Chain A
Amino acid sequence: MLDFFVKYPRLSRLVDLALPLLATLAALGVGAIMLQLLGANPVDAYGALLNGAFGSQNALADTIVRATPLLLVALGICIAFRGGVINIGGEGQLVAGAILGTLVGLTFPEAPGYIVIPVALVAGFIGGAIWGGIPGVLKAYYNVNEILSTIMLNIIAVQGMNYLLRQPMIDPAQAQLASRIPQTARLVQAFDLPRLVPTRLHLGALIAVILAFVVYIYLWRTTSGYRIRAVGLNPDASSYAGINVKRNIVLALLLSGAFAGLAGAIQVYGVHHRMFTDGSLAGFTGSAGFNGIVVALFGKLNPLGAIPASFIFGALIVGANSLQRAMQVPAALITALNGLVVVFVVASDYFSRRLARSRQIGVEANVEPSPPASMPPALSVEGDMSSD
Chain B
Amino acid sequence: MNNAQLIAVLASIVLQASPLIIAVCGEILTERSGVVNLSLDGTMLMAAMTGFVVGMLTNNVWAGFAVGALVGAIFASIVAFGSIRLNQSQVAIGFVLTLLGDDLSAFLGQNYTRMKGVTVPHYGIPILKDIPVIGPIFFNQDIVVYFAMFLIVGTWWWLNKTQPGLKLRGSGERPTAAFARGVDVNRLRYVYTILGGALVGIAGAAYSLDVKIGWSDGHIRGMGWIALAIVIFGGWSPIRGAFGALLFGATKALATILQRAFPEVSVVAFNSIPWLLMILVLLAVGSDYTERGIKAMPKSWQQPLRRVLRVSPPMALGTPFKEG
Give A residues with C-beta under 8 Å from B: 86, 88, 138, 141-145, 147-149, 151-152, 155-156, 159-160, 162-163, 167, 290-291, 293-294, 297, 330, 332-333, 335-336, 338-340, 342-343, 346-347, 349-350, 353, 372, 377-381
Q: How far apart are B76's CB and chain A's nearest CB, in angstroms?
A: 15
- The answer to whether A346 touches B275, judged by C-beta atoms less than 8 angstroms apart, is no
Q: Is B222 an interface residue (CB 8 A)?
A: yes
Segment of B99-107, B151-159, B180-188, B199-207 engaged in the interface with chain A? B99-107
Q: How far apart are A308's CB and chain B's nearest CB, in angstroms?
A: 18
Contacts known (A332-B110, A343-B100); A152 close to B89, Cβ less than 8 A: no
- The answer to whether A159 touches B229, judged by C-beta atoms less than 8 angstroms apart, is no
Complex CA gap A340/B96 in Å reads: 9
Can you report 20 residue pairs joining A to B where beta carbons are below 8 Å apart? Answer: A88-B95, A138-B279, A138-B282, A141-B287, A141-B288, A142-B286, A143-B287, A144-B283, A145-B282, A147-B38, A151-B228, A152-B229, A332-B103, A332-B110, A339-B96, A343-B96, A343-B97, A343-B100, A346-B93, A380-B87
Q: Is B305 an interface residue (CB 8 A)?
A: no
Contact of B99 among A155, A294, A372 (CB under 8 A): A294
Complex CA gap A336/B276 in Å reads: 33
Q: Name which residue of chain A comes closest to B290, CB basis.
A: A142
Q: Mark B215-233, 1 if CB is under 8 A from A, else 0.
A: 0010000100100110011
Q: How far apart are B35's CB and chain A's nearest CB, in angstroms?
A: 13
Q: What residues on B are CB-neighbors of A350 within 8 Å?
A: 86-88
Give B residues with C-beta under 8 Å from A: 38, 82, 86-89, 91-93, 95-97, 99-100, 102-104, 106-108, 110, 217, 222, 225, 228-229, 232-233, 266-268, 271-272, 275-276, 278-279, 282-283, 286-288, 313, 318-320
Contacts known (A145-B282, A159-B272, A379-B91); A335 close to B228, Cβ less than 8 A: no
Q: What residues on B are CB-neighbors of A332 within 8 Å?
A: 103-104, 106-108, 110, 217
A-B CB pair tally, cutoff 8 Å: 124
- The answer to whether B103 touches A335, judged by C-beta atoms less than 8 angstroms apart, is yes
Q: What residues on B are CB-neighbors of A88 within 8 Å?
A: 95
Q: Name which residue of chain B comes closest to A339, CB basis.
A: B100
Q: What residues on B are CB-neighbors of A163 within 8 Å?
A: 266-268
Complex CA gap A335/B107 in Å reads: 8
Q: How far apart are A141's CB and chain B's nearest CB, in angstroms?
A: 8
Contact of A142 among B88, B103, B283 (CB under 8 A): B283
- The answer to whether B88 touches A155, judged by C-beta atoms less than 8 angstroms apart, is no
Complex CA gap A141/B271 in Å reads: 27
Q: Name which residue of chain A comes closest to B93, CB basis.
A: A346
Q: What residues on A are CB-neighbors of B279 within 8 Å?
A: 138, 144, 149, 152
Give the interface SS of chain A, mostly helix, strand, loop or mixed. helix
- The answer to whether B278 touches A152, judged by C-beta atoms less than 8 angstroms apart, is yes
Contact of B319 among A160, A293, A335, A377 (CB under 8 A): A377
Complex CA gap A18/B81 in Å reads: 24
Q: What residues on A are CB-neighbors of B320 within 8 Å?
A: 380
Contact of A156 among B89, B233, B275, B318 (CB under 8 A): B275
Q: How far apart are B220's CB and chain A's nearest CB, in angstroms?
A: 14
Contact of A138 among B110, B225, B283 (CB under 8 A): B283
Complex CA gap A147/B104 in Å reads: 24
Q: What residues on A are CB-neighbors of B225 within 8 Å?
A: 151
Q: How far apart are B314's CB and chain A's nearest CB, in angstroms?
A: 13
- The answer to whether A342 touches B271, judged by C-beta atoms less than 8 angstroms apart, is no
- The answer to whether B232 touches A145, judged by C-beta atoms less than 8 angstroms apart, is yes
Contacts known (A332-B107, A343-B100); A148 close to B88, Cβ less than 8 A: no
Q: Name which residue of chain B comes closest to A154, CB basis.
A: B225
- The answer to whether A148 touches B282, judged by C-beta atoms less than 8 angstroms apart, is yes
Complex CA gap A376/B92 in Å reads: 13
Complex CA gap A346/B99 in Å reads: 13
Q: What residues on B are CB-neighbors of A347 within 8 Å?
A: 82, 86, 88
